[in-house]
């Protein structure tokens, strides 16, 4: 009797396998219900949405072929829209900024007057070469003054490695003479260069006569020593004109003008002295003039205007300024691919700009290749790394790497095969990115024969004007200039309009369509699942109340 009760008691308890089978059935029923709900909501969405073509897929009484065609149309439209969105985003990532013309009538007062750098074709004065030769021969015997003076012409090889050849021993002997007299190549070329006061005879600024030495200073350039006006590129720059007492009166910022025309700019009477020519890079007599940003270092990459003898040279300048918006300034420099003036420090220059960065890049590349730096890149009054200045013994190395040092892709020998990679290489080795903000000057020259015969009154009445003289006149050609704005190619509202237009064109998508998707596939689907779960609980509760509780007779055990 006891054993029979036990058997019946065990039969009343469900087995573990039966529980697992019931759990699997519940999951299958839940999954089946979810799929059914999802299919129903998708059908209702297609019937009620404003998206193009979707209702024709689920409309009743339609043949299968028609449904398949509409599915293909909708899928193709979706792929086309997404592809164009990806193309637009890729374009933005590749070129995130765009430059547009903000104004064609930006007042001329807002622009700095350009810097004017005048370099005589004659790099070494014959008179000064003989004077230096006599000075050097005081401590070195056995050489004639004339022979040494002619050897001093080899110093121009430190500026440009031209066709002027000489035995290597000649370079070494000349360098030994300079070393014996404790004269650096920098100091030697400074003593040999023509003086600014011998080149500039008379200067007028805004129609008023000025002492040339009070507004011009002698500076280093890639052409050697030249005369510069309105030059502010160097860090801790101090005016280097002849009149040191006037340095305090020189403006702390580049000069400006509020008028246009040749009466309102800079006018200079320059003088050439062909009899003093001793070493030149140009097969002519006259001057080379560079018109550039006051914060640019003058080198051979800038626009240059040649000024021969006995001419009147009118040079009109058109400025263009580019600024960036706050949206561009707020972007990382790696994204916008340009730098602001205060985002990178240079060794010798006040503000960052691409031009000066490439100058220092050229200097660093020379150090890397020849273990020295050309003297034209070393400026007094600026803290710099202790590097060796190139001497005549380094001319061979400089000539050997000349093409690499003057290339736009510094240190890279770019050929026609890899020309497409030039943009990727240019300046990147030194971290030189383009400027986000800049001011550029475009000059046009008009020249005529210089003749004072019919001028009744002029500013040069007391000056001896010869056939070696010429007049340079630099001025703004208009009262207004161009102002460009660098802006982001797509801001948030532009992206919204662009993406919305594409999605609307191909799909008929709108803000309401997005709400519909959320409503049908999130709100209604979730609500249906929750309701089904609650209904199940209610049914199970009713069953448990209606079904009598199974009893176990443990006392029979």
pLDDT at residue 410, as a whole number: 64
3-state secondary structure of 380: coil
pTM score above 0.85:
no
Q: What are the residues whose beta carbons fall under 8 Å from the beta carbon of 282, sequence distance 6 or more?
A: 121, 288, 306
pLDDT at residue 48, as a whole number: 84
Residue segments in the chain with a per-residue pLDDT below the cut of 50: 1-2, 5-12, 142, 416, 419-423, 425-427, 551, 553-557
List Cα–Cα distances, 3 to 9, 14, 556, in angstroms. 10, 19, 9
pLDDT at residue 419, as a whole number: 45
pLDDT at residue 241, as a whole number: 62
pLDDT at residue 88, as a whole number: 83
List Cα–Cα distances, 397 to 157, 372, 400, 406, in angstroms. 11, 10, 5, 14
pLDDT at residue 20, as a whole number: 67
User: Of the candidates 123, 212, 197, which has an alpha carbon nearest to the alpha carbon of residue 159?
Assistant: 123
Q: What distance in Å separates the CA atoms of residue 463 and residue 448, rounded to the nearest whole number?
A: 20
443 φ, ψ to 5°?
-110, 145
Spell out the domain ranges in the chain: 2-93+494-556, 105-488
Per-residue model confidence as pLDDT tens digits over 412-453: 555 545 544 444 544 456 888 999 999 999 999 999 998 877
203 φ, ψ to 5°?
-130, 140
Q: What distance in Å separates the CA atoms of residue 503 and residue 507, rounded to the nearest whole number?
A: 5
Query: CATH class for domain 105-488?
Result: mainly beta
Q: What distance in Å separates the CA atoms of residue 133 and residue 148, rounded to the nearest whole number?
A: 6
pLDDT at residue 141, as a whole number: 53
pLDDT at residue 5, as a whole number: 45
**DSSP string over 232-244:** --BTT----SS-G
């Amino acid at each position: 009797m006891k054993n029979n009760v036990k058997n019946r008691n065990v039969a009343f308890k469900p087995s573990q396998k039966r529980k697992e089978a019931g759990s699997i059935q519940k999951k299958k029923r839940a999954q089946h219900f979810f799929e059914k709900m999802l299919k129903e909501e998708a059908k209702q969405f297609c019937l009620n949405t404003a998206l193009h073509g979707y209702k024709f897929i689920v409309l009743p009484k339609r043949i299968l072929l028609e449904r398949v065609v509409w599915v293909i149309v909708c899928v193709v439209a979706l792929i086309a829209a997404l592809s164009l969105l990806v193309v637009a985003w890729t374009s933005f990532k590749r070129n995130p900024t765009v430059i547009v013309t903000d104004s064609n009538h930006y007042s001329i007062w807002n622009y700095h007057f350009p810097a004017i750098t005048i370099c005589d074709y004659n790099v070494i004065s014959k008179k000064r070469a003989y004077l230096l030769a006599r000075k050097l021969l005081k401590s070195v015997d056995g050489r004639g003054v004339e022979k040494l003076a002619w050897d001093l012409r080899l110093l121009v090889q430190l500026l440009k490695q031209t066709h002027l050849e000489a035995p290597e021993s000649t370079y070494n002997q000349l360098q030994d003479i300079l070393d014996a007299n404790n004269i650096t190549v920098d100091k030697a070329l400074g003593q040999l260069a023509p003086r600014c006061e011998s080149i500039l005879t008379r200067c007028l600024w805004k129609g008023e006569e000025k002492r040339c030495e009070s507004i011009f200073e002698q500076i280093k350039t890639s052409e050697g020593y030249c005369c510069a006006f309105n030059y502010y590129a160097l860090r801790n720059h101090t005016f280097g004109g002849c009149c040191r007492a006037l340095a305090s009166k020189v403006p702390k910022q580049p000069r400006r003008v509020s008028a246009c025309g040749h009466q309102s700019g800079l006018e200079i009477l320059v003088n050439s002295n062909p009899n003093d020519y001793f070493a030149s890079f140009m097969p002519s007599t006259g001057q080379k003039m560079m018109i550039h940003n006051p914060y640019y270092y003058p080198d051979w990459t800038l626009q240059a205007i040649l000024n021969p003898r006995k001419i009147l040279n009118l040079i009109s300048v058109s400025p263009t300024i580019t600024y960036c918006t706050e949206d561009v300034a707020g972007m990382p420099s790696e994204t916008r691919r340009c730098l602001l003036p205060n985002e990178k420090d240079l060794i010798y220059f006040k503000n960052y700009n691409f031009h000066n960065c490439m100058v220092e890049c050229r200097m660093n590349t020379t150090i890397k290749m020849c273990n020295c730096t050309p003297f034209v890149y070393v400026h007094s009054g600026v803290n710099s790394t202790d590097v060796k200045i190139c001497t005549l013994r380094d001319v061979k190395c400089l000539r050997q790497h000349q093409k690499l040092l003057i290339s736009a892709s510094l240190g890279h020998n770019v050929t026609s095969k890899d020309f497409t990679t030039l943009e990727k290489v240019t300046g990147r080795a030194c971290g030189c990115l383009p400027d986000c903000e800049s001011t550029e000057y475009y000059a046009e020259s008009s020249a005529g024969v210089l003749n004072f015969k019919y001028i009744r009154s002029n500013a040069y009445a007391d000056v001896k004007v010869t056939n070696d003289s010429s007049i340079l006149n630099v001025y703004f050609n208009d009262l207004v200039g161009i102002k460009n704005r660098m802006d982001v190619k797509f801001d948030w509202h532009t992206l919204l309009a662009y993406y919305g237009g594409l999605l609307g064109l191909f799909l008929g998508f709108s803000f309401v369509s997005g709400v519909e998707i959320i409503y049908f596939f999130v709100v209604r689907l979730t609500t249906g699942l929750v309701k089904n779960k609650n209904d199940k609980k209610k049914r199970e509760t009713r069953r448990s109340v209606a079904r009598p509780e199974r009893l176990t007779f443990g006392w029979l055990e």
